[in-house]
Each structure stands twice: as structure tokens, then as C-alpha cells.
Structure 1
Amino acid sequence: MEAIARFFRRIIIAYKQASMFSDWKTYLLFDLIPPISQTLFFSLIAYAIYGPAYIRKWMIGNALLIASFTALFGVGTQLMAEKYHGTLSFLIASKTRLSAILLSSTVSAMCTGMVSVVLGTSLVSVMLGISWNRNLILSFVVVLILATFVAMSFGYLFSCFILVTSEVNLVLNLATRVLLMFTGANFPIAKLPPLLQGFSNLLPLTRSIHIAQGLMEGYPLSHYRQLIQEEVLLGLCFLLVASILLSFMETKARKDSTIELI
């Protein structure tokens, strides 16, 4: 029970460290306006190209991308923040495993990212006149949880590299651009070359975005049971690989004395 209590305390601490809710101006400028503006931007482009009948489809895909970016950077830069504040070496030297500390921050990033996306999607829906019913809302919440989970797992993988390199921001920005182009949020995957279509299937969010777009077109969530299972499995694979990689990187950082020298 004590281990579970410590885990939830670490979630609260990670939330207080990264959250902008306490300062509404900062939250408005950094966590709310960017997802609204990006979703509006791509939705209006879709409106101009495909017409008003398709605006719901492209709006929902970009909403999930915003959730992924929040989770990706919230988790991927966690150890970078610890290094910046000079506490990373204490975390590695402590009895608590670094993976447990990082996992608690991922849960916090998931929650804050989901709140921002729900608020942003609601405001964009009002602006564009998009209506929601109860079943659609419940189904979208499930897909949003799925998308943030797999994005969080992806960010967890990238966070390991802060132990051996200082270019994590460069890698994370590159990853977000790849997700923006190849997950089907703004460009149909079917129109990509066959090789790139296979690459898209290896990325997180490709299936989540496909499910969300199908929901907006009227398909039930049960229609995508196999895609949901594949997305969960992909997220678990990312977590497994990240856990192994983090253990290796932690050992390498201690051996090469690179924890505070990068």
C-alpha cells in the first residue's frame, strides 16, 4: 500500500511541477490557445480543399495530435528538467527506480494534456458549429485516452536519451513533425507511397486518428476493436523497449560519468 501511495504522491508532485493551471494567463497562452489555433488552422484548410462535409474528420485528427504533442513533450523533457535543476543525479542515486519516477510523470502529462484537448476541442466545435451526441462524446473520450497513452509511451522512449545526449528537444521536434505528416491527421495515408504507408503503420496515433475520424463519420467504436487492440499493443511495446533502454542508459550514464556533464 505504501508503494502505491508513493506512486500517487509522485503523480501529484509531477503535476505541480509542470502544471500551468495555477496561472490562468500562462495556461491560456501556452496550453489552450496553441491547440485551438492549430486545430482551426488545419480544419479551415480542410474546409477549403474538401468542403464543409469533411471538416469534422480533419478537426478530430488534429485534436488527437495536440494531445500527443502534450504527452510527448511532457514526458520526453521530464529528465531534461531534472538535469536543469540539478536533481537528476539525486534521482539516479536514490533507492527509487528512475523508471518509477518517470512513469508517474507520464500519468500527470496524460491528464493535463487530455484536459487541454477537451477544452480546445469544445471551443473549436462551437466556432465551427460541430455538434456532438452522448455516444460520440463517450467514444471520443475512449480514443483520447488511447491516443494519449500511446503518445506517452512514445515520449517515454525518447526521454531515455537525456542521460547520454543534450539534443532531446531536436529529436522531439522531429518526432512531432513526423507525426504531423504521416499519421493521417492532415493527409490521407492511402495517397502516400506504399513504403511510407508501411512506415505510417509503425507510428503511434495512426490507428487512433483513423478510429476518431471513423467515429465522426458515423461508425461505432465497436467497429474498430482490432485497431484498438493493435494501438494498445504498440503502446505496451514502446513502454517495454523504453524500460529496457532506460536501464541501459542509466548504467551507461553512471559508467561514463555523463549525468551532469552533457
Structure 2
Amino acid sequence: MAVANERRFGTLGHVLLSPRSRTAIFWGRVLPYAGNGLLISIFTLTVASLMLGLRIPLAAVPGLALAMAAGSLACGFFGLTLGALGLRFRDVFVISNVAVALLLLLTGVNVPPGNLPQWMVTVGQGLPVTHAAEAARMLAAGRGLDAAAPAIGQELLVGAVYAVVAAILLKFFEAESRRRASLDTL
């Protein structure tokens, strides 16, 4: 959304012509989206606890907050990776809609991983949310932060990989767009 909105509002050219690091600018754009995702996760978990009787051990709350923050950050960088494609393709929203469907299917949040073919589970391991959801399930079951820490670490690793991929794609597509003189077209 950050890249697409820059193009939509006519500010993409200004951002790309900035003497500052575009990578840092776009990485900074991830934080509000990740923060929003974290707030939505906390709100949804709170509503589920109140309305559906979901019982979470009080000791699990700090670990859940950490897992949700890692998942939100990883999703933010995954989104930035998709947004980088917006420098090449005019309608990045088609790509993002397909990505959302794949996230819902392959990460185990809607369909338990045990019910998916092994190749889908394998693909899901490289997507954000997969490991955060696994950690959240462990914490909600009372297994503690020690048991969930590896899954949270894997989620942070997935997010870091997407941050690097996004930076590479942004630089590459920016250079290609400059070369083709198609930097800020709609």
C-alpha cells in the first residue's frame, strides 16, 4: 500500500528523487502498517476472549504480544516486497489480493497445517504469520515463552528475509523504471 499510495497521490517521484536512502524511507513506511496490524491483532484477541470465552493464561500475554509483533512486522515487510512490484506493475492490488488468499490458505491460520498437503505446508514455512501463529498456539496452550521462542525467532527471520528482498526489488525496479522512463506512470 505504501508504494501504491505514493504513486496514486503523485509523490512517488519525490520519494525516489530524495537524496535520502529510499530503502530506509520505505522500511520506515512499514512501521505504521505493522503497528496497525498489531493493534488489530490485540483487539481481535481481546474481543475473542470476551465474546467467545477464549481463555489465555495470564503468563502467556507478554509472549503473545511478542509473537503478534513479530508477525505484524513480518507481514509488513512481506507487503513491502509486494509493494516493490508496484514499481514495475501498474496494478499491484491484484498481486496483493492473491497474496492475501495464499496467506489465509498456506499459513495455517484458517486451515490447520495437518490438513494441508506437505508441499503447501513447506511453502507456508516461508510466509509471514505461519510461525507467529504456531507460537501463539503454544503460548495459549500454556507451554510458555521458552517453547514458543524458536517459532518467534523463525517469524523474525522470515520478516528479515522479506525486508532484504524488498530492498533489493525496490532498488532493481527503481533502476529499471528510470531506464525505461516509466517511474511514476499510472
Q: What range describes the TM-score normalised by the shorter chain of this pair? A: over 0.9
**Structure 1 residue aligned with 2:54:** 130
Q: Which of residues 137, 147, 152 in structure 1 aligns to 2:76?
A: 152
Return the offset for 1:152: 1.1
Between structure 1 and structure 2, the one with the greater Rg is: 1
Is the contact between residue 57 and residue 142 of structure 2 (CA under 8 Å) also seen in structure 1? no
**Structure 2 residue aligned with 1:220:** 144
TM-score (ref. length: structure 2): 0.93
Structure 2 counterparts to residues 92-107 of structure 1, below 5 A: 92-107=16-31
Q: Is it true that 1:235 corresponds to 2:159 in the alignment?
A: yes
Is the contact between residue 74 and residue 155 of structure 2 (CA under 8 Å) also seen in structure 1? yes
Alignment deviations for residues 209-247 of structure 1 (CA, whole Å, 9 cap, x no partner): 111112222211211332222222221111111111111
**Structure 1 residue aligned with 2:127:** 203
Q: What letter matches 1:258 in structure 2?
A: S
Q: Is it true that 1:192 corresponds to 2:116 in the alignment?
A: yes
Return the offset for 1:177: 0.6
Return the offset for 1:113: 2.2
Q: What letter matches 2:122 in structure 1?
A: G
**Structure 1 residue aligned with 2:64:** 140
Structure 1: stretches of 5+ with no match in the other structure: 1-76
Q: Distance in 2 between matches of 1:180 and 1:192?
A: 12
Pairs aligned (count)? 186
Q: Secondary structure at the match of 1:118?
A: helix
**Structure 2 residue aligned with 1:260:** 184
Q: What letter matches 2:165 in structure 1?
A: V
Structure 2 counterparts to residues 161-176 of structure 1, below 5 A: 161-176=85-100
Structure 2: stretches of 5+ with no match in the other structure: none
Return the offset for 1:109: 1.4
The structure with higher relative contact order (CA 8 Å, sep 6+) is 2
Q: What letter matches 2:105 in structure 1?
A: M
**Structure 2 residue aligned with 1:247:** 171
Q: Distance in 2 between matches of 1:178 and 1:85?
A: 28
Q: Distance in 2 between matches of 1:225 and 1:120?
A: 22
